[in-house]
Amino acid sequence: MTPFLELPLAALDFETTGLSPARGDRVIEVAVVRGRPGEEPELWHTLVDPGRRVGATHIHGITDAMLAGRPGFPDVLGELERRLEGAVLVAHNAAFDLSFLQAECALVGRAAPTPPVVDTLGLARRVLAIGDHRLSTLCRLFDLRREQAHRALDDARATWALVQALARVADPTGQAGLDTIQQLCRRRSRAEHNAVLERLESSRTLRVSLLVDYVSGEFPDRPATRRLITVQKVNRSTVAAWCHLRDADRTFRVDRLRIVSEEPTPPRAG
């Protein structure tokens, strides 16, 4: 299995006339930042003539005059497909960008590209112990450059760097595969949450310890800590346990905890 942080990543961002392709909103700018982590990425962006008034200039600063004479989406689609081919598509709130990609492709009778997708919004919600997951907030948290918010190239560049920072928080070893990162992009369903609770309770009953990755609320931007815990009490949202890393009783949030494996319980220090 190739680690996620060794795969080619293509961060995609659209600027649009509005929020809903179903209501006729169109793409007016597209950018792709592509490369493998640790390498200098390739940058590509272009303005796009939507065939209608811009409408949302107050958000992105793009005017009708700026789009006059620019290519339409059908003219840039081939290059966009080439930039995404063979890479993991990364976007912040990926559902938004994918909805526009699918709608624009449908207008020209083409099937939209279907690369594997990683959503940095979903990933941030799962691995960071903060309440605000906007791209601007996350850029400040990780000290990422974003010179012009709500322009496609700057947002794509920030997203390309952000997904790498979030992946390192999620897995300090750097060995997590694409499947693991994609799973972390989704909020746990009720069934998945219940399965974690059952496993925690089972470890308590069987008196085995658990090796877990945990994101601390005190240091939300730091990598998850891998630690061994011996479960003492399980509640719906928290678990009380002896933390062998800290040699102390600790309470952990279940939604910030990922179980790695079961381990024999070692004797406590002292």
What domains are there in the chain, each with its CATH number?
4-185 (3.30.420.10), 190-263 (2.30.30.30)
For the chain, helix (H) and strand (E) counts, in that order, are 9, 10
- What is the reported pLDDT for 220? 64
Give the amino acid at 31: A
**Residues with Cβ < 8 Å from 224, sequence gap 6 or more?**
127, 169, 170, 171, 172, 213, 214, 215, 258
- What is the reported pLDDT for 110? 94
Report percent pLDDT > 90 for the chain: 76
The closest of 11, 42, 44 to 117, measured between CA atoms, is 11
- Can you list the alpha helix ranges (DSSP code H) found in 207-243? none
Residue 235 has phi, psi (to 5 degrees) of -115, 180
Interatomic CA distance for residues 240 and 202, integer angstroms: 14
Residue 15 pLDDT exceeds 80? yes
Q: What is the mean pLDDT of residues 151-165?
A: 96
Tracing tokens 């719906």 back to the chain, one arrives at 236
- What is the reported pLDDT for 160? 98
Interatomic CA distance for residues 121 and 47, integer angstroms: 25
Q: Mean of the per-residue pLDDT values for the chain? A: 92
Note the pLDDT tens digit of each residue in 248-265.
Answer: 999 998 988 889 999 998
Per the CB < 8 A criterion, the answer to whether 100 and 27 are in contact is yes
Residue 144 has phi, psi (to 5 degrees) of -100, 140
The closest of 226, 185, 213, 181 to 7, measured between CA atoms, is 181
Active-site annotation, residues: 150
Angle between helices 178-185 and 152-170 (to 10 degrees): 110
Q: Where are the beta strands (DSSP E) in 53-193?
A: 88-91, 117-119
Note the pLDDT tens digit of each residue in 85-137.
Answer: 999 999 999 999 999 999 999 999 999 999 999 999 999 988 887 888 999 99
Give the amino acid at 179: D
Residue 221 pLDDT exceeds 90? no
Interatomic CA distance for residues 238 and 221, integer angstroms: 21
**CB atoms near residue 225 (< 10 Å):** 15
Q: In what order do the strands lie in the sheet with 88-91?
A: 42-47, 27-35, 9-16, 88-91, 117-119
pLDDT-derived band at 196, boundaries 50, 70, 90: very high
